[in-house]
Amino acid sequence: MPITDLLRQNRKLYGNETALVELNPDRPENRRLTWREFDLVESTGRGAYRREITWAVFDEKANRFANLLLERGIRRDDKVAILLMNCLEWLPIYFGILKAGAIAVPLNFRYTADEIRYCTDLADVSVLVFGPEFIGRVEEIAGELSNGRLLFYVGDNCPTFAEDYSDLTMNCPSDDPMIPVVDTDLAAIYFSSGTTGFPKAILHDHTSLMHSAKCEQNHHGQTHEDIFLCIPPLYHTGAKMHWFGSLLVGGKAILLRGTKPEMILSAVSSEKATIVWLLVPWAQDILDALDSGRVHMEDYELSQWRLMHIGAQPVPQSLIKHWKEYFPNHQYDTNYGLSESIGPGCVHLGVENIHKVGAIGIPGYGWQCRIVDPQRNDVPQGEVGELAVKGPGVMLEYYKDPKATAEVLSPDGWLFTGDMARQDEDGFIYLVDRKKDVIISGGENLYPVQIEDFLHGFEPVHDVAVIGLADKRLGEKACAIISIKEGYTCTEEDVNNFCLALPKYKRPRQIIFAPVPRNATGKIEKPRLRAMYGATALVDAESRG
């Protein structure tokens, strides 16, 4: 069953019920609607700009865009890129692409003009759909992009080098084109984080997308009555695949544009959200705001909120223990996944396993896991090795890159993740670190995630990243970049005293007090940190020689 059939099913079962809500607290209340043809409802609850659509309108608008693509000559397996911030248009456009039999290509909204050009070339994109935030970047390369490509603009004041999406779709039929699509048809290209250069194009079929919906609903038990608050960017597999659990049951979803604690809690309260997926920085910000008294729980209606889950990066045990102090009745889950394994869920903690917080968990619904040595043989239980996963959500390939595909994907379907992990006596998997982030200091392997988790237990620490820097004597040394909570003071001596509880070889040998950069999906940007501080460390190492 292709994922598009779920949208058709929800229109039939729940056509007049709300499917999606866009909530934008920072947007002016009196701004004119940009999606003129949609049957929208606008309100100003708590000062936020709000739009919503029903399942029937959602399906209708997907049909209109599918028919526009077909009228313009887009055919099966053609690629259509989406470069939009989270908004009410995003998902109907995505499903319109799939209904046309084409392949959806979501683009990271942080991409530079050069990265947009690179990714659209790599993925053989025929159409680019973009929003007002990207006019400058797209205009910079419009001459190259428009060479054989269609440029559709979503928003007010369409630039001269593009066509107006609203005007075009308004005049397209709203009937379902009913292009035959089967599970094995190609569906989407997602891009890797690009931490080692330009990103790779990750190709998935409809089987992958559908399995992610089943996996998510199996893990978190979504019902039709649940309301999902979606905050992370929809271009990323994580946000969309968690939402697929709501799609499977016809549940309402709230697309929140904003990550401040007040915005999140206000959205949960006003929209009666029952499930929220957070990234570590946002959860930590909520806790800091509550601890400082800047935010008061009694100002919000939160009793219906039943599940908070986190993914996309290692989760400090101390964070979840602190979270449960404020929200003792919350179910909690950790989600692990990669874009190569269609986002979250190939490993998850499970809401019934709160006693194992710190682990990423056990194989997810329909998934298998192994931990292997460099020769890809299973390691003894308890030893560190590379995590490998296998299941219906593994990518087909890195598009147009057979060499890179062969490096991570075995002929029998095992995906080697590049993440180092270990398994305890109960079968729970603990993420140790990325293979490329392991620090070799004086012949010892140091795993930054373990040191970061320890430092998160130090009360003044808001965020922390540990990286390896050059050291003439040791080869590499562990350096901790630490961001301090507002209202706290902390010295290098304070950190070193706290670290006395660590084995000596694991203690950071350099402390830097500075912001910890994270990308849009919450992952620490360690290549950026190594670039920022690596040259200085190398000079220092040489001077000591």
Model confidence at 44: pLDDT above 80: no
pTM for the predicted model, two decimal places: 0.83
Q: Which residue has the higher pLDDT, 447 or 271?
A: 271
Angle (nearest 5°) at CA 153 between 151 and 157: 130
Q: What is the pLDDT of residue 537?
A: 47
Q: Report yes or no on 109 lying in a domain.
A: yes
Please check whether residue 333 is in contact with residue 309, taking contact to mean a CB–CB distance below 8 angstroms.
yes
Model confidence at 235: pLDDT above 60: yes
Strand duo 385-390 + 510-513: pairing = unpaired
Q: What is the pLDDT of residue 47?
A: 52
Could you tell me if residue 267 is left (phi over 0), alpha (psi between -120 and 50 degrees) or otherwise beta?
A: alpha
Q: Which residues lie across from 364 on neighbouring strands?
A: none
Mean pLDDT of the chain: 88
Out of 13-27, 40-54, 236-250, 407-421, pick the least confident.
Answer: 40-54
Neighbours of 306 (CB within 10 A): 16
Domain count across the chain: 2
Q: Report yes or no on 258 lying in a domain.
A: no
Strand duo 103-106 + 125-130: pairing = unpaired
Could you tell me how far CA 395 lies from the centroid of its own chain? 17
Q: Report yes or no on 292 lying in a domain.
A: no
Q: What percent of the chain has pLDDT over 70?
A: 90
Q: What is the pLDDT of residue 312?
A: 62
Tokens encoding 432: 């140790």
Q: How confident is the model at residue 48 (pLDDT cuts 50, 70, 90)?
A: low
Q: Which residue has the higher pLDDT, 319 or 204?
A: 204
Q: Report yes or no on 473 lying in a domain.
A: yes
With b for 16 or more beta-carbon neighbours within 10 A and e for fewer, the 44-59 pattern comes to eeeebbbbbbbbbbbb
Run of H or E residues at 227: strand 227-230
Tokens encoding 83: 């470069």
Q: What is the pLDDT of residues 102-144, one digit of tens each?
A: 999 999 888 889 889 999 999 999 999 999 999 999 999 998 8
With b for 16 or more beta-carbon neighbours within 10 A and e for fewer, the 259-286 pattern comes to bebbbbbbbbbbbbbbbbbbbbbbbbbb
Model confidence at 71: pLDDT above 90: yes
Model confidence at 424: pLDDT above 60: yes
Give the DSSP per-residue string, 139-155: HHTHHHHTSS-EEEE-S
Q: CATH no. for residue 133?
A: 3.40.50.980
Out of 71-75, 249-253, 299-303, 473-477, pick the least confident.
Answer: 473-477
Please check whether residue 31 is in contact with residue 157, taking contact to mean a CB–CB distance below 8 angstroms.
no
Tokens encoding 496: 């070193």
- Sole residue written with tokens 């055919």: 75
Q: Report yes or no on 86 lying in a domain.
A: yes
**C-alpha to C-alpha distance for 345 and 213, rounded to whole angstroms:** 10
Tokens encoding 367: 């998934």
Q: How confident is the model at residue 3 (pLDDT cuts 50, 70, 90)?
A: very high
The domain boundary residue, chosen from 164, 179, 206: 206
**C-alpha to C-alpha distance for 188 and 335, rounded to whole angstroms:** 21
Q: What is the pLDDT of residue 31?
A: 38
Q: Which residue has the higher pLDDT, 147 or 283?
A: 283
Tell me the average pLDDT across 273-289: 91
The domain boundary residue, chosen from 206, 222, 253: 206
Q: What is the pLDDT of residue 269?
A: 96
Q: Which residue has the higher pLDDT, 153 or 502?
A: 153
Q: How confident is the model at residue 29 (pLDDT cuts 50, 70, 90)?
A: very low
Q: How confident is the model at residue 40 (pLDDT cuts 50, 70, 90)?
A: very low
Out of 173-182, 192-201, 233-242, pick the least confident.
Answer: 192-201
Count of CA atoms in the C-beta half-sphere (13 A) of 137: 20
Out of 226-230, 305-309, 343-347, 541-545, pick the least confident.
Answer: 541-545
Q: Which residue has the higher pLDDT, 37 or 5?
A: 5
Model confidence at 63: pLDDT above 90: yes
Q: In this structure, what DSSP letter does residue 228 have?
A: E
Neighbours of 443 (CB within 10 A): 8
Q: What percent of the chain has pLDDT over 90?
A: 68
Q: What is the pLDDT of residue 315?
A: 77
Distances (CA, A) of 264 to 25, 223, 256: 10, 22, 8
Q: What is the pLDDT of residue 431?
A: 83
Q: How confident is the model at residue 343 (pLDDT cuts 50, 70, 90)?
A: confident
Q: What is the pLDDT of residue 196?
A: 47
The domain boundary residue, chosen from 146, 172, 206: 206
Q: What is the pLDDT of residue 535?
A: 52
**Residue 11 identity:** R
Please check whether residue 311 is in contact with residue 335, taking contact to mean a CB–CB distance below 8 angstroms.
yes
Please check whether residue 537 is in contact with residue 479, taking contact to mean a CB–CB distance below 8 angstroms.
yes
Q: Which residue has the higher pLDDT, 460 or 435?
A: 460
Q: Report yes or no on 309 lying in a domain.
A: no
Q: Which residues contact 331 (CB under 8 A, 6 or more apart)?
A: 306, 307, 308, 351
Q: Report yes or no on 338 lying in a domain.
A: no
Distances (CA, A) of 369 to 162, 197, 219, 346: 46, 28, 17, 8
Q: What is the pLDDT of residue 412?
A: 95
Q: In this structure, what DSSP letter does residue 32 have?
A: P
Tell me the average pLDDT across 51-62: 97
Q: What is the pLDDT of residues 180-229, one digit of tens each?
A: 999 999 999 999 865 446 789 999 999 999 999 999 999 999 999 999 99
Tell me the average pLDDT across 365-369: 96
E-assigned strands of 442-537? Answer: 444-446, 461-471, 475-484, 510-513
Model confidence at 250: pLDDT above 70: yes
Helices then strands, counting H and E runs in the chain, come out as 16, 26
Q: Which residues contact 377 (CB under 8 A, 6 or more apart)?
A: none
Neighbours of 22 (CB within 10 A): 22
Distances (CA, A) of 282 to 174, 177, 310, 432, 541: 39, 41, 10, 22, 37
Domain span at residue 137 reads: 54-206
Q: CATH no. for residue 494?
A: 3.30.300.30
Q: What is the pLDDT of residue 197?
A: 60
- 451 closest CA partner among 470, 436, 466: 466
Q: Report yes or no on 175 lying in a domain.
A: yes
**C-alpha to C-alpha distance for 524 and 522, rounded to whole angstroms:** 7
Q: Which residues lie across from 371 on neighbouring strands?
A: 387
Tell me the average pLDDT across 63-68: 98
Q: What is the pLDDT of residue 194?
A: 52
